[in-house]
Structure 1
Amino acid sequence: MTGLFQGMHYVLKGFALITQKGIRPFVVLPLLINILIFSAGIWLATSQVDRWMEQLLPTWLHWLEWLLWPLFILVIFFAVFYTFTMLANLIAAPFNALLAEQVEKHLNGLPVAEFQGFKSIPALITRTFRSEASKLWYMAKWGMLLLLITIIPGVNIISPLAWTIFGAWMLAIEYADYPMGNHELYFKEELKTLKQHPAHALGFGWILSLITAIPILNFLAMPVGVAGGTALWVDELSKSHRNT
């Protein structure tokens, strides 16, 4: 439980970090990308939900619409928002890596380097794309298993809890990846390090999941996640990695 609450605390720490003077300039682009992508996701979810409901529900079951509506809303919510979260992080990955770098310098007591423009971004693109592709493949494999659990009668009673845990774990992986990637760690190494701190990871990811679900506040989820994930790396994950 201690690790769980400590993990939650790193989200609050992320909010505090993105307001720091030397870090704020590196928050702008991830924030703008997140606003654009999430606005598109919100529009898509609200404008298309009725049509999706009609397509997903057979005509002969329309009389159950009032009962199934909350379930469909929940499924659509998770599908749209997790998809758009991953899309936003894929697009913003190089900028998030720069943000994580500046946050780590700030936390280690080092002077934050002056912004030198985006000349370093091309060198980050290959690395960050490779990392994002690994995360997407990992998410797809486990997502298919959870989808199978969801449609099996009897077993599907555990699916809401399973999806909640999976979502929290994936967000922890997503945002801890940036500082670890800056230290030339690859996905398998990152995963191994996070598995040594499952409670921290789940607490951190769970609060980020809640933030992602809150309108307006969800626009801040990406930079807060990057900053909080970097603080988690500096305080906890980096120590475990050095000891392995």
Structure 2
Amino acid sequence: MLKNTVSVKKSGVNYFMQGFELIKQPGLRTFVVIPLLVNFILFSVAMYFAFSQLGLLFDWMSAQLPDYLSWLEFILWPLAVSTVLVVMSFIFSSVMNWIAAPFNGLLAEKVEMHLTGKSLNSGSTVDLIKDLPRIMKREWIKLKYYLPRAIGFLLLFWLPAIGQTIAPVLWFLFTAWMMAIQYCDYPFDNHKVPFNDMKSALSNTKGTSYSFGATVTLFSMVPILNLFVMPIAICGATAMWVERYREVYKHPVIAND
């Protein structure tokens, strides 16, 4: 059996935290700031629209409620605002994965070059445009992998007993796995590693993959903060690629955790 020649045994949490340090590097800031600016602009427009509609809804509701129930508005407003923030943050994060996919691949490439000192001999605007069909196809492959499984897990919530006990745990584990796939895929895809091979590599290092994905998931649950998770996770996933997979992904077996 071939063994991983990399002696580093960091946890997925360590790699995610390393992402915090990497986004501060001068040579990488530009590739972090541009997608973040796009992210903030689109998120601001989406939130403005959502809260405008919420305001109209509460105006209508206030007109329908009798005076002695007007106090309900003070309770419902915070609940409604919290719900909109959480739901919109999750939806927007999913949409941004598609919009920012080309930038994310470029960021992963620059992080790898920063860590290894070696260029992938790409990254120009022309190369980015040429790669767009392949990048979008890869995002579609990930979506096809995600949707049927997500629907299956969500259906478990409707089952008596299971829906209140096992289903939340399974959903969290599935989400953690998908977060590992989503962000680790960028450096793998930069090297044209097939999707199934990437999944196999992550499966062979389940401990690291799940701890990384779980950390990303937890940070993604915090509204506003989750806007910064994407570049941090990409940097951390690329550091994990460099130390654990870069030299061994081409071999038939990747050493287990």
Output the TM-score relative to the length of structure 1: 0.78
Structure-2 change in CA distance of 1:106 and 1:242 (3 Å): same
C-alpha contact 1:102 1:113 (8 A) present in aligned 2: no
Aligned to 2:255: none
Aligned counterpart for 1:213 among listed residues 221, 225, 235: 221
Aligned to 1:202: 210
Structure-2 change in CA distance of 1:40 and 1:138 (3 Å): farther
Structure-2 change in CA distance of 1:40 and 1:221 (3 Å): farther
Aligned to 2:18: 13
Separation of aligned partners in 2, 1:212 and 1:19? 20
Q: Please, which moves more after superposition, 32-41 or 151-160? A: 32-41
Query: Can you give the 5+ residue segments of structure 1 that lack an aligned partner in the other structure?
Result: 52-65
Structure-2 change in CA distance of 1:8 and 1:129 (3 Å): same
C-alpha contact 2:98 2:139 (8 A) present in aligned 1: yes
C-alpha contact 1:196 1:240 (8 A) present in aligned 2: no
What is the identity, as a one-letter code, of the residue corresponding to 2:17?
Answer: L
Separation of aligned partners in 1, 2:54 and 2:174? 24
Aligned to 2:183: 175
What is the identity, as a one-letter code, of the residue corresponding to 1:16?
Answer: E
Aligned to 2:170: 162
Structure-2 change in CA distance of 1:97 and 1:177 (3 Å): same
Superposed displacement of residue 20, structure 1: 0.8
C-alpha contact 2:185 2:198 (8 A) present in aligned 1: yes
Q: Percent identity?
A: 35
Separation of aligned partners in 2, 1:135 and 1:173? 8
What is the identity, as a one-letter code, of the residue corresponding to 1:21?
Answer: P
Structure-2 change in CA distance of 1:45 and 1:6 (3 Å): farther
Structure-2 change in CA distance of 1:150 and 1:78 (3 Å): farther
Aligned to 1:35: 40
Q: Which string of whole-angstrom CA distances, capped at 9 and with x for unpartnered residues, describes residues 106-161 of structure 1?
A: 11133798985x23221121111011001111110111111110111122121211
Q: Which string of whole-angstrom CA distances, capped at 9 and with x for unpartnered residues, describes residues 46-103 of structure 1?
A: 677897xxxxxxxxxxxxxx9xxx9xx88x8776444322210111111111111110
Aligned to 1:135: 142
Q: Please, which moves more after superposition, 17-26 or 34-43? A: 34-43
Aligned to 2:126: 119
Separation of aligned partners in 2, 1:80 and 1:182? 30
Aligned counterpart for 2:244 among listed residues 231, 236, 239: 236
C-alpha contact 1:41 1:81 (8 A) present in aligned 2: no
Separation of aligned partners in 1, 2:89 and 2:175? 11
Separation of aligned partners in 2, 1:106 and 1:197? 24
3-state DSSP of counterpart to 1:168: helix
Aligned counterpart for 2:157 among listed residues 150, 161, 176: 150
Query: Can you give the 5+ residue segments of structure 2 that lack an aligned partner in the other structure?
Result: 1-7, 58-74, 253-257
Q: Please, which moves more after superposition, 33-42 or 121-130? A: 33-42
**CA RMSD, aligned part only?**
3.1
User: Which has more radius of gyration?
Assistant: 2
